[in-house]
């Protein structure tokens, strides 16, 4: 006997069959280990979890620290020389040589070692004062670089050297230096690292995270200006006086960049 279904009954039957097919497909996928999130909300949730995990594993903080220390210079570098003029090159050169020998002899007698006396320049050039185009004289300059290692005697040594060179003497410049900066640099580095760690700890507390180990560190030395002492210009009227030397202080600075991990 034939069974007649109404249109409503046929629609219900199709819906049940479709639901069965969907359930079977989902079950088959789960059995194969490929049950991916079925909704856009599930996918977004997974992405957020992954990003958070990645950020947690690689969170770092970068800070710089600076350490400054000061020391008293213990040696003086002096640039001085002589300048002579004569109608011939030979005469001008002879006068310059005589003046330089007198300067070096005085400095050696005052205790300056031979390695601390160095010839640093020699120049000879003609002088022109007329319209003929021919030189009417020649000028000779000789320069010395001198290291004075006893600041207590440096003033008198400079004055004695100036007297020995006479009116031909020239002083181009001076600088005060620290002969050994190793201890000062070690102290500056320790201060720079402590400064960097203090900054990193403060940032970590502000973030509510524990400070982890150091990931990397690099050093950038930064030269700092220091006062250059003033020297009285030697002259014949002050030949008996010593040049005043005021060593002052020299500052050394070290800057480090440190990367810390955050716990």
Residue whose token pair is 């600076």: 66
Domain count along the chain:
2
pTM: 0.61
- Count Cβ atoms below 10 Å from residue 93 Cβ, excluding itself: 17
Q: Is 186 part of a structural domain of the chain?
A: yes
Residue whose token pair is 């005469």: 91
| Dihedral Cα 157, 158, 163, 164, nearest 10 deg | 70
**Range 39-50 average pLDDT:** 36
Coil, helix or strand for 108?
Answer: helix
Same domain? For 149 and 172 the reply is yes
Same domain? For 79 and 205 the reply is no
Same domain? For 189 and 64 the reply is yes
Q: Which pLDDT score, from 0 to 100, does residue 8 have?
A: 42
Q: Is 94 part of a structural domain of the chain?
A: yes
Cβ proximity of 149 and 143 under 8 Å: no
Same domain? For 86 and 213 the reply is no
Q: Is 232 part of a structural domain of the chain?
A: no
DSSP 114: G
Domain of 186, CATH number, reads: 3.30.110.170
133 Ramachandran zone, left/alpha/beta (phi>0; psi -120 to 50): left
pLDDT tens-digit map of 68-119: 999 999 999 999 999 999 999 999 999 999 999 999 999 999 999 999 999 9
Q: Is 10 part of a structural domain of the chain?
A: no
CA distance 242 to 48: 78
Same domain? For 144 and 205 the reply is no
pLDDT-derived band at 4 (thresholds 50, 70, 90) equals: very low
Q: Which pLDDT score, from 0 to 100, does residue 58 have?
A: 58
Domain boundary among 177, 202, 236: 177
Same domain? For 148 and 99 the reply is yes
pLDDT tens-digit map of 192-225: 999 999 999 999 999 999 999 999 999 986 555 4
Q: Smallest Cα–Cα separation from 158: which of 168, 147, 99, 115?
A: 147
E strands in the chain:
60-71, 75-86, 117-127, 137-148, 169-177, 211-223, 250-262
Same domain? For 95 and 162 the reply is yes
- 153: domain range? 75-177
Coil, helix or strand for 240?
Answer: coil
Domain boundary among 114, 144, 177: 177
**In the numeric block, which tokens belong to residue 69?**
């220390």
CA atoms within 13 A of residue 56's CA, in its CB half-sphere? 6
Domain of 136, CATH number, reads: 3.30.70.2970
Same domain? For 216 and 143 the reply is no
CA distance 14 to 12: 6
Q: Is 233 part of a structural domain of the chain?
A: no
Contacts of 129 (CB under 8 A, 6+ apart): 136, 137
Lowest mean pLDDT across 46-55, 106-115, 171-180, 183-192: 46-55
Q: Is 15 part of a structural domain of the chain?
A: no
Residues across the chain = 263
């Amino acid at each position: 006997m034939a069974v007649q279904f109404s249109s409503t009954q046929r629609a219900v039957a199709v819906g049940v069959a479709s639901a069965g097919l969907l359930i079977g497909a989902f079950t088959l996928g789960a059995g194969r280990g490929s049950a991916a999130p079925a909704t856009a909300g599930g996918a977004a949730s997974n992405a957020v979890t992954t990003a958070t995990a990645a950020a947690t594993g690689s969170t770092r903080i970068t800070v710089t620290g600076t350490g400054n220390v000061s020391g008293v210079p213990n040696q003086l570098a002096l640039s001085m020389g002589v300048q002579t003029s004569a109608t011939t090159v030979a005469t001008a050169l002879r006068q310059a040589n005589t003046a330089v020998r007198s300067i070096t002899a005085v400095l050696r007698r005052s205790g300056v070692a031979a390695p601390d006396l160095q010839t640093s320049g020699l120049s000879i050039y003609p002088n022109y004062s007329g319209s003929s185009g021919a030189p009417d004289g020649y000028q000779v300059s000789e320069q010395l670089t001198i290291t004075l290692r006893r600041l207590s005697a440096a003033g008198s040594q400079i004055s004695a050297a100036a007297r020995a060179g006479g009116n031909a003497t020239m002083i181009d410049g001076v600088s005060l230096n620290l002969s050994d900066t190793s201890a000062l640099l070690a102290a500056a580095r320790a201060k720079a690292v402590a400064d960097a760690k203090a900054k990193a700890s403060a940032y970590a507390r502000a973030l509510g995270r524990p400070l982890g180990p150091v990931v990397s560190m690099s050093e950038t030395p930064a030269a700092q200006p220091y006062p250059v002492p003033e020297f009285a210009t030697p002259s014949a009227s002050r030949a008996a006086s010593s040049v005043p030397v005021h060593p002052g202080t020299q500052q050394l600075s070290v800057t480090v960049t440190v990367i810390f991990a955050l716990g």
